[in-house]
Amino acid sequence: MTAGRFFEDFDVGQELIHATPRTVSAGDASLYLALYGGRFAPQSSVPFAQALGYRSAPLDDWLVFHLIFGKSVPDVSVNAIANLGYAEGQFLAPVYVGDTLRAISTVLGMRENRDGQSGIVYVRTRGLNQDNVCVLSYCRWVMVRKRDPKTPYPVSDVPDLAPYLSPEQLTPPAQAYHSFDPHLSGGNAFWEDYAVGQVIDHGGGTTIEDAEHMMATRLYQNTARVHFDGAFQAQTRFKRRLVYGGHIISIARALSFNGLENAFAVAGLNAGKHIGPIFAGDTVYAASQITDLVPIADRSDVGALRVRQRVTQNVSAEQSFADPEPSACVLDLDLWLWLPRRP
């Protein structure tokens, strides 16, 4: 059995080729739908997607993210204490049923923690399809246990990650959105209809079930023990299984349909933090604040919306935008989204 990498097993510049390649199927898309309930039209309807120029219905962006993330777990975060943050996440090309995804990570930096027990490892993970097209690239940093706390690691090599993607760093989708039909998509608001500062409460919440987060996490072939082994977890300070943080990201995306019905794709993950643990039985709510609104050069059909998306536990998320340090907030995302422009 593979014990997984400890802090000392990483090297800056190291390339990690992750197992296992995965052909994405219609079954994966259906399960994802049943787990989150997404209603964004291009992902739901092949004819709707094809009318925009997609080859077929694209997979939900976060499904792609989780599949790639899952592959990196055995090599990057099996011995992780915490998943600390994300940066520079770029969704670069649509992924379709039948595509085969694989993942590669590069170690960007390392830094030992003061107590000598652990350190922080920074990686860039890239997801590639069967044609070697990079469909996703993102950075994350995790706190990893040291194998031997007595061996100091004197070098500190913290990479210079952008606090957010500038609009120029986004890769506009290759499709054309002039004919995006708001009757079919379920929402009347186009890119022009949002305003910076606006807070959108996405409404009703979702109560988390163990069976659901475990099925989701296995669907991503993410086998981190903390999500599955209840007997082991009972002996930790958490007392029970931890929900994979990505599960909450996908719940937020699905809830965000209420108010962001036409935000058909995620363009970028500027930053993201899993602030607190989530357990089965918790009910989560989501709200978004529009923080920027940028047109795209030479594109009259599509624009980018920057949003702060927050998930709260057992209380409404909308209020979290009034508090400077919202206490019940469990997830805080800074995203770029694509929206069609008003025809």
Contacting its own copies within 135-174 (CB under 8 A): none
Distance CA 61, CA 63 (A): 5
Nearer to its own copies, 90 or 312 (CB): 312
Distance CA 314, CA 205 (A): 8
Report, in Å, the least distance between residue 31 CB and its own copies.
5
Report, in Å, the least distance between residue 65 CB and its own copies.
17
Nearer to its own copies, 141 or 194 (CB): 194
Is 21 near its own copies (CB under 8 A)?
yes
Is 190 near its own copies (CB under 8 A)?
no
Residues in region 310-339 near its own copies by CB under 8 A: 314
Residues in region 222-251 near its own copies by CB under 8 A: 223, 225, 228-232, 241
- List the one residue out of 76, 72, 121 whose CA is nearest residue 101: 72
> Which stretch in 107-115, 136-144, 170-178, 181-189 sits in contact with its own copies by CB under 8 A?
181-189
Per-residue x/- track, 29-58, its own copies (CB under 8 A)? xxx-xxxxxxxxx--xxxxx--------x-
Choose which of 64, 76, 142, 214 interacts with its own copies (CB under 8 A).
214
Residues in region 60-89 near its own copies by CB under 8 A: 74
Choose which of 13, 53, 149, 204 interacts with its own copies (CB under 8 A).
204
Distance CA 336, CA 306 (A): 4
Read off the tokens for 294.
């940028």
Backbone angles phi, psi at 192, to 5 degrees: -65, -20
Is 218 near its own copies (CB under 8 A)?
yes
Choose which of 283, 323, 327, 343 interacts with its own copies (CB under 8 A).
283
Choose which of 90, 105, 118, 206 interacts with its own copies (CB under 8 A).
206
Is 212 near its own copies (CB under 8 A)?
yes
Choose which of 106, 113, 198, 258 interacts with its own copies (CB under 8 A).
258
Nearer to its own copies, 90 or 175 (CB): 175
Report, in Å, the least distance between residue 236 CB and its own copies.
13
